[in-house]
Chains A and B, each alone.
Chain A
Amino acid sequence: QQQVKQSPQSLIVQKGGISIINCAYENTAFDYFPWYQQFPGKGPALLIAIRPDVSEKKEGRFTISFNKSAKQFSLHIMDSQPGDSATYFCAATPDSGGSNYKLTFGKGTLLTVNP
């Protein structure tokens, strides 16, 4: 069964700190790993994504680290801000022809950044 295991379930960080969320997968056919950010009352929105040909991808304060041999990937939020408080989902898919349908999601991490 395709699974993506995400931890922790919840995370509290002080403003300016580093938030780290981890995900692990088992299906070696997965080759596209997006992270989604969801604010209360809204739908999830793509935050950043990585393919396994690179070990790290950075966009502003958000970085994905990818370890193919360990089948793990993580999201790092540097200089965390109260506005980053949201639920974060990792996901994975075998990227069949670029359609990335049938994403498998982790169960989510509720991040709270205290001012």
Chain B
Amino acid sequence: DAGITQSPRHKVTETGTPVTLRCHQTENHRYMYWYRQDPGHGLRLIHYSYGVKDTDKGEVSDGYSVSRSKTEDFLLTLESATSSQTSVYFCAISDLRASSTDTQYFGPGTRLTVL
């Protein structure tokens, strides 16, 4: 998975609780992304980062916040989890310096269940 780890891999939580998912990369890639994957919806971008402390919203950002204090870590926070945020969350990375294969590399995913 191209030097990308996600933690935790599985989490069950209750409605209203805060949740933080972590993405860690060892590739020194500039760009990092958070997606959610739901049946019938494919992959939808939540937030992305184009550098340390530089982040922007994606397609489905409501209810989520992110932080990136160093190149290797990108955190996704659900301030008050809701059942609609039950999903599989993927982190991805990409790098402007990738020459022949401009692409995003995905982590193994985190399965989050909000009861």
A42 and B50 in contact (CB under 8 A), knowing A34-B103, A97-B96? no
Within 8 A of B (CB), among A20-68: 32, 34, 36, 41-46, 49
The answer to whether B74 has its CB under 8 Å from any CB of chain A is: no
Instruction: Confirm or deny: A115 has a beta carbon within 8 angstroms of a beta carbon on chain B.
Output: no
Q: Which of B30, B42, B96 has the most CB of A within 10 A?
A: B42
Partner pick for A99 among B40, B94, B106, B108, CB 8 A cutoff: B94
Count of residues in A whose CB is under 8 Å from the partner chain: 24
- With CB as the reference atom, state the residue of chain B lying closest to A34: B103
* Residues of A close to B84: CB separation below 8 A: none
Question: What is the distance, in angstroms, from B28's C-beta to the closest C-beta of chain A?
Answer: 15
Q: Contact at B109–A43, with CB atoms within 8 Å?
A: yes
Among B41, B58, B105, contact of A102 (Cβ-Cβ < 8 Å): B58
* Most chain B beta-carbon neighbours within 10 Å: one of A32, A42, A44, A101: A101
- B108 near A108 with CB under 8 A, answer no
Interface residues in B, total, Cβ within 8 A: 29
A:60-115 near B, CB below 8 Å: 89, 95, 97-103, 105-108
* A46 CA / B103 CA spacing, docked (Å): 7
In the complex, whether B60 has a CB less than 8 A from a CB of chain A is no
Smallest distance from the beta carbon of A31 to chain B beta carbons, Å? 11
| B42 lies within 8 A of A101 (CB) | no
Known: A99-B94, A107-B40. A43 touches B106 (CB 8 A): yes
Supposing A43-B90, A44-B90, A49-B103 touch, asked if A101 and B31 sit within 8 A by C-beta, the answer is yes
Binding site for A on B (CB under 8 A): 1, 4, 30-31, 33, 40-45, 48, 50, 58, 90, 92, 94, 96, 98-99, 101-109
